[in-house]
Structure 1
């Protein structure tokens, strides 16, 4: 149980609704991504069309970032999350109908992917900013760890469940996602939050970009967000996993599946540990230590020629990355006023999305020039170098003792 007995049953129920809703929503999105991508390629046999699916989901996140943050700070975050989940459920239902009726084609899939991307762009920052309103401040770090565990559970279950259901037919995936998303929306509607008096400043160009200004003015937040950006950018070897599976470890598709799952399993285990044993002291040093482990584990993966060793290395990358995620998220939530949380979380989401997307691009390009093993090894080395540089550039982050320090 996350909340102590003295806290209200209503608050516990609200957090439980939030957690289950997050699992259902994130798992459904993973399932839909698998089904949409597979069906697009089945219909077109065109790699470019497959790439456009990812682009259609990514572009709304970039274009809507600052609008999303401003909306999350002006309107009821619970209603925003609920509306997004219901719209996503409606899109899944339309995909179901289109697939069964036979009119689902390339253009319809791309449009659905774009709407799903826009909904996720609104849902993510609004959901993150909503969480501090559900639990007491002193257990927020544990709540974030539980929330992170929900996301990791979705990453493990979503793709495999989507693939399994797709083997029975695309309609099975779309039908299951429709039910799950509508259920998530209903659960979110029943969340009860403490009313907070938020300042509603007039809409202006400055107010829209105020989240970026806030991050820049707070070295601890800027340091941890930018550190995660560059560490993942350099150390992300995810794009190279098919090459390692086929050419280096000689495992085939089953080995690739295990390797893709390993980081999420490590992340899930670590998030559960942090939920019960939150970080208390020397938080800044623990952040840099986690990044060092991430870099070393990436280097171990790069030189490994044994599947078991590679899986252990990937599991360690997932576990160490979660430490960074929980510290970053907790800092953002605890050191940001409630009236600014939507905009600051939107900036945070932009950094995360950029690092993941560009990290895979960087790894692929570098591997094309020097080979996958040197590229992955240098990526891990680069992560350690960035961590060392950030210790020098952001001394306040290095000296950070607790997450509640200002």
Structure 2
């Protein structure tokens, strides 16, 4: 493991290929989120059925969940960079097909039902691309920056996701409100095209490859590695437990309406607060990376996340609630950066794709299942007891993790 090396906040961008990957990442995030805003808005306007909004998410999530493990296998078995380039290129014709579908509907060439089927089918294919793209992208990054810059690169990657997540829906809403559908789709296609060009400009490189031909055997090897490697297993456990028990994003509409009585504007403020906190903390982490005692810092951050859940449950003031959510987002961003660095630094290079795929499934599933868990708890116990129980269980998981990982407290990058 490398010792700490002083570097500037922009050190990772000295790598041309990391810069290209970041351009691709930003183009992808903006394009996908603007497209999601467009699809959700227009399909609801056409159908007036709120169930459609759930279907939009499911049609992207399910193929990602199914294909991620296979995507991790092929990333390690073949040239992950070439697979990344080819898989991402399919986003361009899919987006054009979506554009054509909406144009055909507006010219009354196809019915609303056919438009709905077309949109959901295309979203399903986008989910398939994501299932292959995600493990290839995450396992490629360690090959384009040196080890001592892994933390810096992970921080920039996470910050780009957060910034894009804040700005893209706003831009999407502006495009829909002030410009026509064709211009909005042309922006989306241009973003996908730019992201694809960035990937095809990457320097050619070779990768270590696994020798086994069996998908099942190779995935068993990756799972065995995760379970026997204490720092990876407990890092994933911490993230899963904190989001599963302590995640409160799904409950914010209930809290805004029934507890704080703040309406849509206040809800928007609550919804944006965690992302703002995460973005600010990541800017700090770029300058001051958590290389000294990162495991101890991670435990403190997840503890802060759980405490914020408890505080949010008992507060009745809007601005205090916003402040708590900002701190919560900041704590979560520390957890993300440290976990991503661990997942790049510890696994063997020929196992990065599979480990990234398994981690991606854990992260995505914990978000989805956490939202379901909090909703079910709220249904039976009401929103405030549900938050208090979730925060308490999250803190208990931190205590368990600390007891099991005392030997990792002095670990450093």
Contact 2:60 2:123 in 1 (8 A): yes
Contact 1:66 1:209 in 2 (8 A): no
| Partner Cα distance (1:267, 1:239) in 2 | 18
Q: Alpha-carbon deviations, 1:3-34, whole Å to 9, x = none?
A: 65xx9x9x622211111211111122122222
- Report how far residue 144 of structure 1 moved: 0.5
Cross-structure match for 2:122: 112
Contact 2:166 2:272 in 1 (8 A): yes
| Partner Cα distance (1:63, 1:217) in 2 | 24
The answer as to 2:233 corresponding to 1:225 is no
User: Of residues 389, 402, 405 in structure 1, which corresponds to 2:412?
Assistant: 402
| Partner Cα distance (2:181, 2:73) in 1 | 37
Q: Alpha-carbon deviations, 1:330-373, whole Å to 9, x = none?
A: 11110011110000000000000011001111111111111112
The answer as to 2:356 corresponding to 1:345 is yes
Shift in alpha-carbon separation, 1:170–1:310, aligned structure 2, 3 A: farther
User: Of residues 188, 208, 215 in structure 1, which corresponds to 2:219?
Assistant: 208
| Partner Cα distance (2:204, 2:283) in 1 | 24
| Partner Cα distance (1:89, 1:196) in 2 | 27
- Report how far residue 128 of structure 1 moved: 0.8
Cross-structure match for 2:54: 51
The range that moved more, 237-246 or 99-108, is 99-108
Contact 2:73 2:215 in 1 (8 A): no
Q: TM-score, normalised by structure 1?
A: 0.93
| Partner Cα distance (2:257, 2:183) in 1 | 31
SS for the counterpart of 1:105 is helix
| Partner Cα distance (1:260, 1:171) in 2 | 29
| Partner Cα distance (2:195, 2:81) in 1 | 12
The answer as to 2:103 corresponding to 1:92 is no
Cross-structure match for 1:66: 69
The range that moved more, 232-241 or 61-70, is 61-70
Cross-structure match for 2:151: 141
The answer as to 2:163 corresponding to 1:160 is no
| Partner Cα distance (2:286, 2:28) in 1 | 21
The range that moved more, 341-350 or 36-45, is 36-45
Contact 1:166 1:172 in 2 (8 A): no
| Partner Cα distance (1:216, 1:105) in 2 | 45
Q: Structure 2: state its 5+ residue gaps.
A: 1-7
User: Of residues 194, 204, 208 in structure 2, which corresponds to 1:183?
Assistant: 194
What count of residue pairs does the alignment treat as equivalent? 398
Cross-structure match for 1:280: 291
User: Of residues 235, 240, 243 in structure 1, which corresponds to 2:254?
Assistant: 243
**What are the within-5 Å matches in structure 2 for residues 190-339 of structure 1?**
190-192=201-203, 194-339=205-350
Contact 1:78 1:189 in 2 (8 A): no
Contact 2:78 2:209 in 1 (8 A): no
SS for the counterpart of 1:192 is coil
Q: Alpha-carbon deviations, 1:77-110, whole Å to 9, x = none?
A: 2222223332222222111121122136111111
Shift in alpha-carbon separation, 1:248–1:117, aligned structure 2, 3 A: same
Q: TM-score, normalised by structure 2?
A: 0.91
The answer as to 2:376 corresponding to 1:365 is yes
Cross-structure match for 1:21: 24
| Partner Cα distance (1:231, 1:44) in 2 | 37
- Report how far residue 194 of structure 1 moved: 4.8
* Aligned CA-pair RMSD: 1.9
| Partner Cα distance (1:36, 1:341) in 2 | 34
| Partner Cα distance (1:65, 1:330) in 2 | 20
Q: Alpha-carbon deviations, 1:106-136, whole Å to 9, x = none?
A: 1111111111111112111111111101101
User: Of residues 31, 34, 38 in structure 2, which corresponds to 1:35?
Assistant: 38
Contact 2:238 2:302 in 1 (8 A): no
- Report how far residue 315 of structure 1 moved: 0.9
Shift in alpha-carbon separation, 1:366–1:131, aligned structure 2, 3 A: same
Q: Alpha-carbon deviations, 1:365-392, whole Å to 9, x = none?
A: 1111111122122222221111111112
Cross-structure match for 2:367: 356
